[in-house]
Amino acid sequence: MKSLAHSLLLLGISVSTILVPTLHRLTAAEKQESPRLTLSREKNMLYIHGDHIPGGKIPINYLEAYCRANSTDADWGKHTVVKHETQTIDLNADRTVLKLKCTVADGITVEHTITAKSDEVDFQLVAHNPTKRRSEVHWAQPCIRVGEFAGLGADQTDDKYAYIKKSFIFLDGKPAFMPTRNWATTARYIPGQVWCPADVPRTDVNPRPLSSEVPSNGLIGCYSGDNRWIFATAFEPYQELFQGVIRCLHADFRLGGLQPGETKTIHGKIYIVPADMEALVKRYQQDFPEQVSGR
């Protein structure tokens, strides 16, 4: 574990001194191109397709899990995960609007309308508890696989964590590349990294190493292998940001334990945009005004 921590610290230094100054800036002609995103679903995997996406698609385990509270130091299988099934309701002819319905074992339902646009995928969720008891589910995980996008997938490297040098969250209002400062290395399950917003109990997040740092906002993402593109994602309300163990990044959304009869809406975005961080942040702030001031 000491060697892992040492390697991550060295990696952080190299990122801050090498990666940022060499990020590619798209030409005017490239910016005028109109990329097209489409959707497909196979078993529990949602795919975002685009000719311009490195690797051609971004796979998402959607959804990986619905989860109970008191999860930070709990057994993942025996305590945290609440079983669910996801049904495809409809996919339109041009594969830009996908409708899903999740039925969770404790009785709640979550309807998803997922819309692909030219450079983003929009998520509109409606969670409802039709039962007479409070739901056990407090949060849920879309597991987004970004290894191929970052040019560091299984075909490029055996190092499952090489992609984190291309990945970022926001600390002190600025992009912070991974491994971020105060990188945690101990937890029930290792490795990985969790960042918990101030308004979420630190007892209720993923049982992976939990950073002492509080993210400035709910945006997490990475640069493409050629530095021409940024992938980023955010959900509101959000439970945690997470760097996982399957070359993945998460902005896990919060349900909070729906009361009997309660309905809650959740919205999310995945951005696949030219590598202009300032433009991305402005757009994110417009889409998620609730998160602008941080948590």
Structure confidence by residue, pLDDT tens digits, 134-174: 999 999 999 999 999 999 999 999 999 999 999 999 999 99
The predicted model gives 121-143 an average pLDDT of 98
**pTM of the predicted model as reported, rounded to 2 decimal places:** 0.89
Residue 21 lies in a domain: no
Structure tokens at 70: 């008191």
Domain span including residue 243: 38-291
Residue 159 lies in a domain: yes
* Three-class DSSP category at 137: strand
pLDDT of 93 higher than 70 = yes
Residue 77 lies in a domain: yes
Residue 293 has a pLDDT of: 62
- The answer to whether 69 and 77 are in contact (CB under 8 A) is no
CATH number, position 165: 2.70.98
DSSP states of 25-44: ---HHHHH-----EEEEETT
How confident is the model over 25-42, as pLDDT tens digits?
555 444 445 679 999 999
Residue 7 lies in a domain: no
Closest CA to 271 of 288, 285, 283: 283
Structure tokens at 183: 């990188």
Residue 292 has a pLDDT of: 82
Helix, strand, coil shares of the chain as percentages rounded to 5?
Answer: 15, 40, 45
Residue 31 lies in a domain: no
What's the rounded Cα separation, in Å, for the pair 33 and 38? 16
Residue 208 lies in a domain: yes
Element (H, E) at 14: helix 2-14
What's the rounded Cα separation, in Å, for the pair 252 and 271? 16
Beta strands in the chain (DSSP E): 38-42, 45-49, 57-68, 81-82, 84-91, 97-104, 109-116, 120-128, 137-145, 167-171, 174-177, 193-195, 220-223, 229-236, 238-243, 248-254, 263-274
Question: What is the total count of domains within the chain?
Answer: 1
Work out the percent of the chain whose per-residue pLDDT is above 70: 87
Residue 136 has a pLDDT of: 97
Residue 15 lies in a domain: no
Res. 17 pLDDT band, cuts 50 70 90: very low
List phi, psi (to 5°) of 220: -140, 145
Residue 248 lies in a domain: yes
What's the rounded Cα separation, in Å, for the pair 38 and 48? 6
pLDDT of 4 higher than 50 = no
pLDDT of 19 higher than 70 = no
Structure tokens at 190: 């290792």
Q: Which residues pair with 150 in a beta bridge?
A: none
Residue located via tokens 């740092």: 213
* Three-class DSSP category at 267: strand
